[in-house]
A and B are shown apart, each in its own frame.
Chain A
């Protein structure tokens, strides 16, 4: 045996253990653009979360609205309440800034909610397909092919035409059109990872299959899953906006960004650009910042792109 004093583990531990997480954070911070995008995205999330406290007006509270303030230009001051509408008002006299803040809430909840549930469903099925193989694999992957062969917007429209309007229904439609991307990504990674020798070692150690899948296989399939999830959140938000714009998404009482854009669409050519323009800008910034973060995540998490 070695000369170390038996039993006592050295109290003087190494200064800082370089964990994978720490390395990952340092790698991510290397790109200033992605860091900026992350900060913008976090700011958007904070605004959405705290909208009821920081928005100048509650656009759903009819008592706070003044129909006489309809379609005011950005920067106008209300005659009745004396508040300033920094981004103008829509045809109901609602403050656009408040409308955007509340709209972000709905867009983000629908986008992130559907992406997370779809990730869970898709990753489970993809993992099952990779681990079980054979007929299970064939059935799941043919379903994925079927799903992906329809244009996303078309299948979402069909589902919503069937289910009707409503936030829950939009979330369901988005989950149905998105799970296939996750399933395919996770299956691909899991097929590679399960051939690695650490999986064989775990089998040799007589660990149960469930434990091997969740403790050994899944953590090693996470990087591509995280990347797909980030980009799919942006896609889900954009898709929800599209559906709402087409009038099949969220109900008019809970306007998301897409619905706000749709509301102002008819005034676009009569010079009242702000009703559509500012929600559109908010949507653009949200999606671009998520995509920038997702792109850089892919670079950081892909070992083949490592210097």
Chain B
């Protein structure tokens, strides 16, 4: 294969919405702290210990279409990184299935499975720990393309130059080690590493959270440039609504392992339906709201070991009523393309807009 990368522009690029890149169907992920031998005996004898199970992700459905940028937002510990890792194929789901271009990932074997893994790449949060400190940049970026036959040993230097330039790195830095770079440059190395295997889909897990604000903007612009050039699809995970607003076509809000709201970006910022989304938006610092006191979401995020009954958000929700404590609300469509998980939408005099 030649060193030039020319990903064929997707036929459906002009008409997003018809071509599903990835489909997450009823996916859950549990992390269990199993009891060891001594623990089992103690539990038999009546000690108050039991297996602790965290529902990091709880029956999530999510569809990402080709060419789309989906923002995934939530507080720390809400399961957004776990969901991202499952989508990227690093972590197997406990339940449910993930369809890659219409085919169940767990059913893929051999070449097909490898291709599916390679086409979904991940950009990590910590630019230092995501690069192997004992490898040179050339090896970090070049190892996988060489191994998978995307380039030859003879063509590697030219291939590397191209990948590095595309990520905004000087190709003469090839023989350096990660510790010799700044945070922004390291993140560019991570991006170059992911792009070197010619993916179609990138999962960015808090990819700019560890960077300075000025560097954040550079990296975000790089993501947008790459999206145009390579027709990439993104799942952009962030706790920063400002970043997500700037980047995404669609926003998905998660709270304690569940999706609570899902809508096009403008809709979320103009007409947020779920009380959690509303309180998140109220906490975003804005220049025009300089003198306003920020409305912080009350209370702490509850422990996922022992989540609240009914709607997970009810202990912190200003509008909570009896039904919220008992019944888990369903994710219902409140407007075309806008889904929300809130009982308030069922109230007759409400009109889908809680006050």
- Give the residues in chain A near B134, CB-CB below 8 Å: 20, 219-220
Q: Is B253 an interface residue, CB under 8 A from the partner?
A: no
- Give the residues in chain B near A82, CB-CB below 8 Å: none
Chain B, residues 120-134, CB within 8 Å of chain A (1/0): the string is 111011100111111
Known A4-B170, A9-B161, A205-B197; judge A200-B144 contact (CB<8 A). Answer: no
Q: Is A18 an interface residue, CB under 8 A from the partner?
A: yes
- Give the residues in chain A near B171, CB-CB below 8 Å: 4, 9
User: What's the least CB distance linking A215 to chain B, in Å?
Assistant: 8
Q: Is B8 an interface residue, CB under 8 A from the partner?
A: no
Q: Is A165 an interface residue, CB under 8 A from the partner?
A: no
For chain A, residues 175 to 218, give those with C-beta under 8 angstroms from any C-beta of chain B.
196-198, 200-207, 211, 215-216
| Inter-chain contact A17/B193, CB cutoff 8 Å | no
For chain B, residues 67 to 88, give those with C-beta under 8 angstroms from any C-beta of chain A.
85, 88
A295 CA / B116 CA spacing, docked (Å): 48
| Inter-chain contact A198/B172, CB cutoff 8 Å | no
Known A204-B88, A204-B90, A206-B144; judge A1-B130 contact (CB<8 A). Answer: no
Q: Which of B174-182, B306-314, B345-353 contacts its partner?
A: B174-182
* Count of inter-chain pairs, beta carbons less than 8 A: 86
Chain B, residues 97-125, CB within 8 Å of chain A (1/0): the string is 00000000000000000100110111011
Residue of A nearest to B148 (CB): A206
- Give the residues in chain B near A271, CB-CB below 8 Å: none
Q: Is A19 an interface residue, CB under 8 A from the partner?
A: yes
For chain A, residues 203 to 249, give those with C-beta under 8 angstroms from any C-beta of chain B.
203-207, 211, 215-216, 219-220
- Give the residues in chain A near B93, CB-CB below 8 Å: none
A204 CA / B89 CA spacing, docked (Å): 7
A240 CA / B327 CA spacing, docked (Å): 72
- Give the residues in chain A near B190, CB-CB below 8 Å: 201
A215 CA / B125 CA spacing, docked (Å): 23
How many residues on the B side are at the interface (Cβ–Cβ under 8 A)?
Answer: 42
Known A2-B165, A9-B172; judge A204-B122 contact (CB<8 A). Answer: yes
User: What's the least CB distance linking A189 to chain B, in Å?
Assistant: 13
Of the candidates B117, B129, B177, B197, the one whose C-beta lies within 8 Å of that of A197 is B129
Chain A, residues 1-22, CB within 8 Å of chain B (1/0): the string is 1101001011001100111100
Q: Is B158 an interface residue, CB under 8 A from the partner?
A: yes
For chain A, residues 1 to 55, give those with C-beta under 8 angstroms from any C-beta of chain B.
1-2, 4, 7, 9-10, 13-14, 17-20
A106 CA / B37 CA spacing, docked (Å): 46
| Inter-chain contact B131/A200, CB cutoff 8 Å | no
Residue of B nearest to A208 (CB): B147
A20 CA / B176 CA spacing, docked (Å): 10
- Most B-side CB within 10 Å, residue of A18, A196, A219: A196
A13 CA / B193 CA spacing, docked (Å): 23
A6 CA / B193 CA spacing, docked (Å): 20
Q: Is B184 an interface residue, CB under 8 A from the partner?
A: no
| Inter-chain contact B130/A197, CB cutoff 8 Å | yes
Of the candidates A1, A18, A206, A220, the one whose C-beta lies within 8 Å of that of B133 is A220
Residue of A nearest to B133 (CB): A220
User: What's the least CB distance linking B222 to chain A, in Å?
Assistant: 13
| Inter-chain contact B124/A201, CB cutoff 8 Å | yes
| Inter-chain contact A200/B122, CB cutoff 8 Å | yes
Q: Is B354 an interface residue, CB under 8 A from the partner?
A: no
- Give the residues in chain A near B249, CB-CB below 8 Å: none
- Give the residues in chain A near B148, CB-CB below 8 Å: 206
- Give the residues in chain A near B176, CB-CB below 8 Å: 14, 17
For chain A, residues 257 to 284, give those with C-beta under 8 angstroms from any C-beta of chain B.
none
| Inter-chain contact B124/A200, CB cutoff 8 Å | yes
| Inter-chain contact B172/A197, CB cutoff 8 Å | no
Q: Is B183 an interface residue, CB under 8 A from the partner?
A: no
- Give the residues in chain A near B193, CB-CB below 8 Å: 201, 205
A19 CA / B179 CA spacing, docked (Å): 10
Of the candidates A9, A200, A211, A215, the one whose C-beta lies within 8 Å of that of B157 is A9
- Give the residues in chain A near B124, CB-CB below 8 Å: 197, 200-201
Q: Is B143 an interface residue, CB under 8 A from the partner?
A: yes
A20 CA / B178 CA spacing, docked (Å): 11
- Give the residues in chain B near A201, CB-CB below 8 Å: 122, 124, 130-131, 190, 193
User: What's the least CB distance linking B210 to chain A, in Å?
Assistant: 11
A219 CA / B120 CA spacing, docked (Å): 27
- Give the residues in chain A near B118, CB-CB below 8 Å: 205-206
Of the candidates A2, A197, A204, A211, the one whose C-beta lies within 8 Å of that of B126 is A197
Residue of A nearest to B126 (CB): A197
User: What's the least CB distance linking A146 to chain B, in Å?
Assistant: 15
| Inter-chain contact A200/B90, CB cutoff 8 Å | yes
Chain B, residues 183-220, CB within 8 Å of chain A (1/0): the string is 00000001001100100000000000000000000000
| Inter-chain contact B177/A207, CB cutoff 8 Å | no
By a beta-carbon cutoff of 8 Å, the part of chain B in contact with chain A is: 85, 88-90, 114, 117-118, 120-122, 124-126, 129-135, 143-144, 147-148, 157-158, 161, 165-166, 168, 170-172, 174-177, 180, 190, 193-194, 197
Known A20-B177, A206-B144; further 20 A-B contacts with Cβ < 8 A: A1-B165, A2-B170, A9-B161, A17-B175, A19-B177, A196-B130, A197-B124, A197-B125, A197-B129, A200-B85, A201-B124, A201-B131, A204-B122, A205-B193, A206-B148, A207-B144, A215-B143, A216-B132, A219-B134, A220-B134
Top 4 A-B pairs ranked by shortest CB distance? A197-B130, A205-B144, A206-B117, A197-B124
